[in-house]
Amino acid sequence: MRNKGEKNDLESRLPVSVTRDSTVSLLKVLTTLIVFVVGVVIGLTSSSHIDRYFTFQAEQIIANNALADTVSRANNNNNGSCSVCEKEDCLSMESFVRLKILIHGMSDDELFWRASLEPYKKEFPFKRVPKVAFMFLTRGQLPLIPLWERFFERQDVNKYSIYVHALPGYVLSISNTSVFYKRQIPSQHVEWGSVTLVDAERRLLANALLDFSNERFVLLSESCIPVYNFPTVYKYLIGSIHSFVESYDDPSRYGRGRYNRRMKPDIKLSDWRKGSQWFEMNRTLAVKVVSDTKYYDIFRRLCTPACYPDEHYIPTFIRLFYGPLNANRTVTYVDWSLGGPHPATFSAVNITEGFLKSIRNNGTACSYNSEKTHICHLFARKFEPSALEPLLNLSSNVLEF
């Protein structure tokens, strides 16, 4: 207020003083002017301006420290992403939407929480091409990689992403031109048959959920092969109104026999389901699976051998809450016809044109989006490494890739 008053004063005086033809009064005016200007400057400086300047500086220092802190913490925890953050703006849309590096230092709790975040706003501020996430759960090397590489060859990289959960410390040896290069996620020890197998599945889902473009999530193993080409698989999965999680009621001791009555009242025997571990699901279901704590805990505590969480947890959880979203069948072919605890394994001698054709279409019709189709399976297992050569031989003729 004071400054403003002085300024008005000055403005009203100036014209008067200039018209006077006297050196004395001119000098007086000049002196007054200088005093006023100095006054104004001091007034301005001592009030808001200095405060604002210092506040601004302080904020900058705090912000810089926070950034330095974040980067140095990232440096300590996160091998890989740290050096990128020093050079790039890690909050940019580009790095948020298109993660370049899959390695991170998050614990499962942190990862699952982040993966459970869903945008409330439905329109994307970028061109979102829905992707299929191919998630490989493997112990060691992926011997059938050459077939998969042929499957992905010349396909639109905006339509798929690959994730590999291998044993901790295991580094896939692949050339830097492979689509599998640097696609390993931070992994943990997995014991087949135990809940750690479910943990690994959820870890794959959660890592894949961090990419907002991933729309369909398919779990695969090192012995799986694709039996249709990429465009067919993509269209089939992206176009499906259902997820493909096998979920059925098995009255035998291998199904209902594994139910634990202490799971009541949360899980009733009539809700108890069994299904192949090798699922395919859409984003909605994937978020639900990584967000669940209650039912996961029940399975962790009460589903122990001869109950296998990987065959019951997801089929039962989906049956409980999201049954209508599920096709209840799997898109991954497997042959149980020989009986016993393990499905048939196919080696080089078993790979014939007729065999592959029968997996693609054996005359059975399956329902797809409430219609009938002869394409029931997109993938198949279990194939030994020796099957690779004959598969590559037949892929262009029979598998059409």
Ligand X SMILES: *[C@@H]1O[C@H](CO)[C@@H](O)[C@H](O)[C@H]1NC(C)=O
Helix (H, G, I), strand (E, B) or coil at 26: helix
According to CB under 6 A, which one of 102, 111, 133, 327 is a site residue for ligand X? 327
Residues 225 to 254: which contact ligand X by CB under 6 A? Answer: 241-242
- Residue 373 makes contact with ligand X by CB under 6 A: no
- Give the HSE-up count for residue 203: Cα atoms under 13 Å, Cβ half-sphere: 26
Residue number of the CB atom closest to ligand X: 323
**Is 128 or 139 the residue whose CB approaches ligand X more closely?**
128
How much of the chain is in helix, strand and coil states, percent to nearest 5? 50, 10, 40
According to CB under 6 A, which one of 65, 362, 373, 396 is a site residue for ligand X? 362
According to CB under 6 A, which one of 32, 79, 95, 304 is a site residue for ligand X? 79
Both tokens assigned to 228? 């249709």
Q: Is 97 exposed, middle or buried (0-12, 13-18, 19+ CB in 10 A)?
A: middle
The one-letter amino acid at 387:
A
**Is 178 or 196 the residue whose CB approaches ligand X more closely?**
178
Nearest alpha-carbon partner for 82 in 68, 97, 65, 61: 68
Contact code string over 168-187 relative to ligand X, x by CB under 6 A: --------x-----------
Contact code string over 304-323 relative to ligand X, x by CB under 6 A: ---------------x---x
Q: Which stretch binds ligand X (CB under 6 A): 9-17, 20-28, 92-100, 345-353?
A: 345-353
The one-letter amino acid at 72:
S
- Residue 77 sits at φ, ψ, to 5 deg, of -95, -35
Nearest alpha-carbon partner for 134 in 111, 101, 159, 160: 160
CA distance 341 to 339: 7
Q: Could you tell me how many residues of this chain bind ligand X (CB under 6 A)? A: 25
**Is 10 or 101 the residue whose CB approaches ligand X more closely?**
101
Q: How far is the CB of 352 from ligand X (least distance, A)?
A: 9
- Residue 361 makes contact with ligand X by CB under 6 A: no
**Is 31 or 284 the residue whose CB approaches ligand X more closely?**
284
CA distance 266 to 268: 7
- Residue 326 makes contact with ligand X by CB under 6 A: yes
Helix (H, G, I), strand (E, B) or coil at 337: coil
Contact code string over 92-111 relative to ligand X, x by CB under 6 A: --------------------
- Residue 324 makes contact with ligand X by CB under 6 A: yes
**Cβ distance 353 to 397 under 8 Å?**
yes
According to CB under 6 A, which one of 228, 346, 368, 401 is a site residue for ligand X? 346
- Residue 349 makes contact with ligand X by CB under 6 A: yes
Cis peptide before 226 (omega within 30 of 0): no
Q: What one-character DSSP code corresponds to residue 331?
A: S
Q: Which stretch binds ligand X (CB under 6 A): 57-65, 144-152, 278-286, 378-386?
A: 278-286
Q: How far is the CB of 281 from ligand X (least distance, A)?
A: 8
**Is 254 or 321 the residue whose CB approaches ligand X more closely?**
321
CA distance 126 to 96: 11
**Is 33 or 348 the residue whose CB approaches ligand X more closely?**
348
Q: Which stretch binds ligand X (CB under 6 A): 140-148, 186-194, 251-259, 280-288?
A: 280-288
Helix (H, G, I), strand (E, B) or coil at 373: strand
**Cβ distance 370 to 223 under 8 Å?**
no
Q: How far is the CB of 141 from ligand X (least distance, A)?
A: 19
CA distance 312 to 276: 8
**Is 340 or 363 the residue whose CB approaches ligand X more closely?**
363
**Is 6 or 249 the residue whose CB approaches ligand X more closely?**
249
According to CB under 6 A, which one of 77, 92, 369, 373 is a site residue for ligand X? 77
Supply the Cα-derived Rg of the chain in whole angstroms: 33
String of DSSP letters for 216-268? EEEEEETT-EESS-HHHHHHHHHT-SSBB---B---STTTGGG--GGGTTTS-
- Residue 390 makes contact with ligand X by CB under 6 A: yes
**Is 195 or 277 the residue whose CB approaches ligand X more closely?**
277
- Residue 270 makes contact with ligand X by CB under 6 A: no
- Residue 180 sits at φ, ψ, to 5 deg, of -90, -5
CA–centroid distance for 254 within its chain: 33
Binding site for ligand X (CB under 6 A): 77, 79, 176, 241-242, 282-284, 319, 323-328, 344, 346, 349-350, 362-364, 389-390, 393
